[in-house]
Structure 1
Amino acid sequence: MRLENTGIEDAVVDLKPLDHLMGKHAFIRAGQWDYERVTYDYKIGSKEKNITYYIRIQGYALEGDVDRGNAVIKLSTPLLGKHYYPHGVEYGEEENFPENLIERANSLVTKIQEEINQYKK
């Protein structure tokens, strides 16, 4: 599910402050990157058996190199996904997400968006 109109889409930020900001809000980049793309995930546990939810924020380098840490990243529309063990994460609009989960996801993304404003290029 796309989290539309969050203010994060199309934000342009240097990688180092972006990594710091995302980590501060428990969004993990870990090994989810290549030389020109980054992915940050926030894991949300569920009482449903074998179900975990993720908020995913992705971006791509407009210039520089992610591996070298000198990239300038343009962020994309955040996603809310549902992980089905052992099959993977589904982001499709046909997925059903609890309303309180959608509100929580939007709240977290809004907090990040407010802080990203001070780093935007």
Structure 2
Amino acid sequence: MRFEKTGIENITIELPRLTDIMRSQGFILAGQWDYERITYDRKFEIKGDIYYLRVQGYAVEGIIEENAKDAVIKLLTPFVGKYYYPHGVEYGEDENFPASLVDQCNRILAKVKEDIDAVVNA
């Protein structure tokens, strides 16, 4: 399920600032990056099911590395998926997501947008 019109799509922000914001909202970076793309995940466990809210981006300046200071990231449309063992995470439109999860994801993404706006517009 994609979260359209969150306001974070197409925002550009420096990688260190973005990572700080995402971590403050419970997202992890782990190893989900290469030199051009980056993915932040937030895990949810609801009634025995596991879901991931995912925010991705790509470098428009510099390269993405562990301690990159000069990379600038352009964010993409966030989405949520459900984890199925042993196949992985499914993001299909036919997935059913609990309303409480969708509401929580919308609140988190609104807070991410607020935090990004505070940094970008400072």
| Pairing 1:33-72 to 2, within 5 Å after superposition | 33-48=33-48, 51-67=49-65, 69=68, 70-72=70-72
- Check the 8 A contact 1:3/1:79 in 2, yes or no: yes
Distance 1:45 1:99 in 2: 14
Distance 1:120 1:94 in 2: 36
Distance 1:82 1:45 in 2: 10
Percent same amino acid at aligned positions?
Answer: 52
Q: Number of paired residues?
A: 119
Gaps of 5+ in 1: none
Specify the SS of the correspondent of 2:82. Answer: strand
User: Normalized against structure 1, the TM-score is what?
Assistant: 0.94
Matched, 1:27 2:27: yes
User: Normalized against structure 2, the TM-score is what?
Assistant: 0.93
Distance 1:120 1:111 in 2: 14
Gaps of 5+ in 2: none
Shift of residue 65, structure 1, vs aligned partner: 0.9
Q: Which 4+ residue blocks in structure 1 deviate beyond 6 angstroms? A: none
Distance 2:20 2:120 in 1: 14
Q: Alpha-carbon deviations, 1:14-67, whole Å to 9, x = none?
A: 00010111111110011100001110000001213xx30010000000010111
Superposition CA RMSD, Å = 1.2
Aligned to 2:2: 2
